C-alpha cells in the first residue's frame, strides 16, 4: 500500500490529484489513519513494534506529498515565467482625467481679472424672493419690465412671500450692499433662470454682476472698468467699446455696451471695429435701489453692470451652440475642457 501510494504521489500531475492522494492516505477515512486507529487495540508490546512502523509510513507519505507539492509549484512558476511577459516598451494605459468646464474656467478668469481691480466675489441664492429679484431693483409689482423676464415662479410656501428662480444676478447687488455697506466693489457670478430655449437661450444660464458703490463715482469709472476688463478677458489691446443709451429699471442712466468685432480667418472675433455686438448691460445704480438696500443715496452712488458668462465663453473660445454647454457630452467637454 505504501509503495503504491508513494508512486501515485510521485506521478500526480497537478495539485488537485495530489490532494486526492493526501485524502486517500491521511484523510479521516484514509488508510494511514485507519492503521493509526488500530494502535489503540494493541498490547503494549505489539504497539512498541507497530507504532514506529505506522508513524514511519505516515511520515513517508506526508514527506512525499510535500516534496511533490513543491515540485509542482516550481514547475508552474517556471511555466508562467516562460510564457507570460510584460512588454515594457508598450505605452502605459491612459488614466482618464477630469477637466474644467468652460463656464467654470470663465468664472475663474473673471474672478481673477476683477480681483486685480479690487473686486471681491459676492453670492446670493438661486431661489430668490420676488422682493430681491424685482421690487428692490425698482420693479414694483405692476412694472412692465417684469414681463420681459420669463420668470419661473415657485409654488407658494405659505409664508406669503413670492419666490422665484432668480432671473438675473442683480438681486446680489442688494444683498451685498445690505451685508457689507459702502464703499463696496464686488462681482457676483452665478446661475440664473428664464423660461426660454433655443440655440442661443437655455432655461438656465450664467451671468456675472458687477457693482461699485462709493462717493463720487461717475460713468467714466464705469467705462474704464469695462474697457480694462474686456481687454484682459479677450487678451487684446485693440478692444473698442461703445455705450448706447438704454433702459433698465435699476440703473439711471442706463447703457448697453457693445464691443467691436472683426473677421479673422473667416471667423468673427472680438477686437477691432468692423462691426459691433452687444455684450453688457450697465448704468449708474438708481437712487431707489441704493435706498432699498439701506444706504443713503445722497451720500453714495455707483455703477453696476451685468453680462452673460456663457456668451462670453462662446465669444472667447469660438463655440456656436449654447445648449452644448449643458448637454454633458463628454466629447464636447473633452474638446473644450481646460486642465486643472
Considering the complex, state which of residue 5 and residue 135 has its C-beta at the smaller distance from ligand PHE. Answer: 135
Figure out which of the listed residues 292, 306, 314, 315 binds ligand PHE, where binding follows CB under 6 A: 306
Binding mask 151-190 for ligand PHE (x = CB under 6 A): -----------------x-x--------------------
Q: Rule CB under 6 A: is residue 248 a binding residue for ligand PHE? A: yes
Residues in the annotated binding site for Mg(2+): 252
Q: Which stretch binds ligand PHE (CB under 6 A): 221-229, 267-275, 288-296, 304-312?
A: 304-312
Q: Rule CB under 6 A: is residue 251 a binding residue for ligand PHE? A: yes
Q: Which of residues 200-219 bind ligand PHE (CB under 6 A)?
A: 209
- C-alpha grid cell, residue 105: 474656467
State in Å, rounded, how far the first CA of the chain is from the last one.
Answer: 74
Residues in the annotated binding site: 252
Considering the complex, state which of residue 117 and residue 269 has its C-beta at the smaller distance from ligand PHE. Answer: 117
Helix/strand/coil (H/E/C) assignment for every residue in 249-268 = CCEEEEEEEEEEEEEECCEE
Q: Which stretch binds ligand PHE (CB under 6 A): 43-51, 92-100, 157-165, 276-284?
A: 276-284
Considering the complex, state which of residue 270 and residue 285 has its C-beta at the smaller distance from ligand PHE. Answer: 285
Q: Is residue 262 within 8 Å of residue 269, measured between CB atoms? A: yes
DSSP-derived secondary structure letter, 39: G
Considering the complex, state which of residue 239 and residue 280 has its C-beta at the smaller distance from ligand PHE. Answer: 280
d(C-alpha 297, C-alpha 289), whole Å: 9
Query: Angle formed by the axes of helices 15-26 and 2-11, to 10°?
Result: 160
Considering the complex, state which of residue 261 and residue 305 has its C-beta at the smaller distance from ligand PHE. Answer: 305
Figure out which of the listed residues 30, 190, 281, 302 binds ligand PHE, where binding follows CB under 6 A: 281
The Cα-based distances of 40 to 6, 32, 35, 58 in angstroms read: 26, 14, 10, 16
Query: Angle formed by the axes of helices 219-234 and 102-116, to 10°?
Result: 130
Q: Is 305 helix (H, G, I), strand (E, B) or coil?
A: strand
Nearest CA-CA partner of 305 in 240, 256, 267, 260: 256
- C-alpha grid cell, residue 278: 452687444
Closest approach, Cβ 214 to ligand PHE, in A, equals: 17
Torsion of CA 328, 111, 241, 266, to 10 degrees: -40
Q: Which stretch binds ligand PHE (CB under 6 A): 82-90, 112-120, 303-311, 313-321?
A: 303-311
Considering the complex, state which of residue 64 and residue 226 has its C-beta at the smaller distance from ligand PHE. Answer: 226
Q: Is 211 helix (H, G, I), strand (E, B) or coil?
A: strand
For 187, phi and psi rounded to 5 degrees?
-115, 155
Closest approach, Cβ 116 to ligand PHE, in A, equals: 21
Q: Rule CB under 6 A: is residue 304 a binding residue for ligand PHE? A: yes
Using CB under 6 A as the criterion, which residues of the chain lie in contact with ligand PHE when the complex forms?
168, 170, 209, 248, 251, 281-283, 304-306
Amino acid at each position: 500500500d505504501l509503495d503504491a501510494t508513494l508512486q501515485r504521489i510521485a506521478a500526480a500531475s497537478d495539485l488537485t490529484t495530489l490532494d486526492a492522494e493526501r485524502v486517500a492516505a491521511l484523510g479521516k477515512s484514509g488508510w494511514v489513519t485507519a492503521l493509526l486507529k488500530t494502535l489503540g487495540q494493541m498490547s503494549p508490546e505489539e504497539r512498541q513494534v507497530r507504532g514506529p512502523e505506522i508513524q514511519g509510513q505516515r511520515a513517508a507519505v506526508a514527506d512525499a506529498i510535500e516534496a511533490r507539492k513543491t515540485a509542482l509549484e516550481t514547475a508552474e512558476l517556471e511555466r508562467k515565467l516562460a510564457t507570460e511577459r510584460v512588454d515594457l516598451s508598450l505605452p502605459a494605459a491612459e488614466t482618464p482625467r477630469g477637466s474644467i468646464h468652460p463656464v467654470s474656467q470663465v468664472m475663474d478668469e473673471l474672478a481673477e481679472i476683477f480681483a486685480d481691480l479690487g473686486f471681491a466675489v459676492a453670492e446670493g441664492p438661486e431661489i430668490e424672493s420676488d422682493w430681491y429679484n424685482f421690487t428692490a431693483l425698482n420693479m414694483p409689482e405692476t412694472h412692465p419690465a417684469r414681463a420681459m423676464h420669463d420668470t419661473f415662479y415657485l409654488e407658494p410656501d405659505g409664508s406669503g412671500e413670492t419666490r422665484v428662480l432668480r432671473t438675473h444676478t442683480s438681486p446680489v447687488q442688494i444683498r451685498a450692499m445690505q451685508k457689507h455697506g459702502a464703499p463696496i466693489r464686488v462681482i457676483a457670478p452665478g446661475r440664473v433662470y428664464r423660461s426660454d430655449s433655443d440655440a442661443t437661450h437655455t432655461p438656465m444660464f450664467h451671468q456675472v454682476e458687477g457693482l461699485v458703490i462709493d462717493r463720487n463715482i461717475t460713468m467714466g469709472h464705469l467705462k474704464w472698468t469695462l474697457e480694462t476688463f474686456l481687454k484682459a478677458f479677450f487678451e487684446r489691446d485693440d478692444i473698442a467699446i461703445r455705450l448706447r443709451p438704454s433702459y433698465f429699471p435699476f440703473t439711471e442712466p442706463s447703457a448697453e455696451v457693445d464691443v467691436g468685432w472683426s473677421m479673422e480667418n473667416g471667423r468673427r472675433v472680438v477686437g477691432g471695429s468692423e462691426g459691433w455686438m452687444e455684450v453688457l448691460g450697465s448704468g449708474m445704480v438708481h437712487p431707489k435701489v441704493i435706498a432699498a438696500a439701506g444706504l443713503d443715496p445722497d451720500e453714495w452712488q455707483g455703477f453696476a453692470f451685468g453680462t452673460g458668462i456663457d456668451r462670453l465663453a462662446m465669444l472667447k473660445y469660438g463655440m456656436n451652440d449654447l445648449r452644448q454647454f449643458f448637454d454633458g457630452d463628454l466629447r464636447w467637454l473633452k474638446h473644450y475642457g481646460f486642465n486643472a
